[in-house]
Every structure is written in structure tokens, then in C-alpha cells.
Amino acid sequence: MPDDPRLRALLAAAVPFSLPLRRRFRGIDVREGVLVSGPSGWGEFAPFEDYSDAAAARWLDCAIEAAFGQWPQPVRDRVEVNAIIPAVGADDAAVLTRAAVSDTGCRVVKVKVGDADLAADEARVATVRDVLDTLLGRGRGAIRVDANGAWSEDAAATALRRLQSYGLEYVEQPCRTAEETARLRRRVDVLIAVDELVRHADDPRTVRLREVADLAILKAAPLGGVAACLRLADALDVPVAVSGSLDSSVGLDAGIALAAALDDLPFACGLGTGALLAADVVDAPRLAEGGTLAAGRTAPDLPALLAARDRLTDERAAWWRVRLAAAWQAGSRERMGHLVEA
């Protein structure tokens, strides 16, 4: 039993969960994490397994802020979101894009790229463009691509020269390093957004991007919460866009709160990931309507939450509690622990 009464209170309010995905996404087919309840509502702690304890502490900050703190006053009630197409074949990409437009009203689609086979990437992007043009009218739907740093500078230049003919809004994290990304930016006529370069920085507020990228992607959970991201948006020297972290419907609330509070929101948000979940902590995954999601707080539905909890083995649930405690010890007790009442 932890000595810190605040950590004991946090663990007492924690419900580990497991959510199956409709299809494999970025190497996983199950999304796991912990929901935490507090006087303000529910928060989500769900760092991916490759995150260090120090990095996971930021995710815990976000969960504690959601459950025990307050979010800034929104300046908009709804935020536009993009649909997402995983690294699937062209036929599946067509089905998913049609569903995104018809069922959720999304007009912006993010396509995962970076396969070793550039032809497969191009076929996926070309298919998405064809479906968008067919359903919305030529050029009326937007495409952005995300390589997650998979390309070298030369590979990225080659790929983008082929893919930009399909009308790219921007490319997200084409290369792993800032140096490669900066050189690439001088070689291609495509807006460049960076994600990992911000998320993985020791202090994201010190990152200087003006010579590297055209915009930065902010994700509430891995960057420490809504207030931390708003401070970061003010500190960065490029515009920002908002994205999510394959969150549950409860976890999505923090990203939507961030997007709703930003003074300037020129790009659709990467928060349309509910369509990737086969089950959620609510009765139905939170999906866009008319291409937008409403700001607000979501409480889990008890039957769905219990089902999500029961998908975990006892060993796996215990692992998540240990991980939460390790994240607390790595930093959150100093940054956000004052909010937690024993």
C-alpha cells in the first residue's frame, strides 16, 4: 500500500480497462488504460507501453486535471475532426472513407503512410482522394498523411512528390529527426507538421520549430493536459493543430477541451478515432456528427465500463496500477498532486 494518501486516493478511484479495436492500428489490436474518477469527472491514463515512467507522468497529469481540476472556458462549442485511415489496402480504405463521410460527416481524412511499399501508400491515398471527390465534389475534401517518422529524408522527398498530386493539406512527422525534417521542408512543396518532435522533447516549451515545420501537433494526454498544452501553444513559434492518442470516449474529452479553448483552430482535429474502437467505456463510441464533436464531459456507462474492466486479466490490471503508481512517483505528485484529495 503506498504511503502517500493522495496516491492511495487515486488508486482507489482507478478502473483499468481494455478496449478491442476494429482492426490492427500502429501495431496493436487492443487499447488499454485506466480511468480515474474525481470531483470534476473522469480522466484517462493510457500511455503506450514504450513510454518511460517520466513520459507517462504527463499522461497522469492529464488524467488528474480532468478528474480533479477544471478545464479553461471554451471559445467554441464544437470542433471539426478528421477521420483516420490506418495502413490498410486500397479496398478497405475506400470502405472506411465512404463510412467516414456518410456516417460521421467528416470532410478531412488523415491517412497513415510510411510503408516500405510506397505503391501501397499511394494506392491508399489515391483511393481516399477518389472517394472524397466522388462524395463531396472534386477538391472539396482534404487529405493529410502521417508517416510517424518512418521515412528518411530522401524517402520522404520521393514519397511526397508522388503523393502531393492528390492534394495534401499537410504531412505529419515525415522524418524522425529535426535535422532531416528541416532539410526535407526545403525540398518539397507540402506543409509539414511535427508531432513526435514536440511530444518527446524533455521540455516541449523550449522547442524551436520555425525552421523545421509549418505547424505543431498537440496531444493533451502525452503533453500533460489541457492547461499545459495551452501554455505550450503560446510558447511555440508555429501554429498548432490538435490530435488524440487513440483515446476512449472519456479520454477524448481532454483533447476536445483543448481544441475548444484555443483562440485559433485553423485545422480539423485528429479526434475522430472513436470509429477505430470495437467497444468503448460508453454504450457506443463517441463519433462525429456533421464532421464535429461537441465539447463537454463524458461519464462511462456502468455496463460498458465493467465489460472493459473484465477484459483484463488480474495480472494485467495489477500491471496498470503499478504503472500509474510509477508515473506518480516519476513526477505527477509534484506537478498535479495538490489537486488530489485523500
* Residue in 6, 31, 112, 323 annotated catalytic: 112
CA pair distance 109, 107, nearest whole angstrom: 7
Q: How many CB atoms lie within 10 A of CB 120?
A: 15
Please provide residue 43's backbone torsions phi and psi, each rounded to the nearest 5 degrees. Answer: -125, 160
CA pair distance 32, 255, nearest whole angstrom: 18
* Residue in 6, 110, 124, 219 annotated catalytic: 219
Q: Which string of DSSP letters, residue by residue, matches 14-68?
A: EEEEEEEEEEEETTEEEEEEEEEEETTEEEEE---TTS-HHHHHHHHHHHHHHHH
Name residue 42's beta-bridge partners: 37
pLDDT digits (tens, 9 = 90+) for 163-195: 999 999 999 999 999 999 999 999 999 999 999
Q: Active-site residue 112, yes or no? A: yes
pLDDT digits (tens, 9 = 90+) for 296-308: 999 999 999 999 9
pTM, whole model, 2 decimals?
A: 0.94
Q: Active-site residue 219, yes or no? A: yes
Domains recognised in the chain with CATH numbers: 5-70+302-339 (3.30.390.10), 78-294 (3.20.20.120)
C-alpha cell at 7: 496516491
Residues 6+ apart with CB under 8 A from 6: 333, 337, 340, 341, 342
C-alpha cell at 233: 501553444
pLDDT digits (tens, 9 = 90+) for 214-273: 999 999 999 999 999 999 999 998 999 999 999 999 999 999 999 999 999 999 999 999
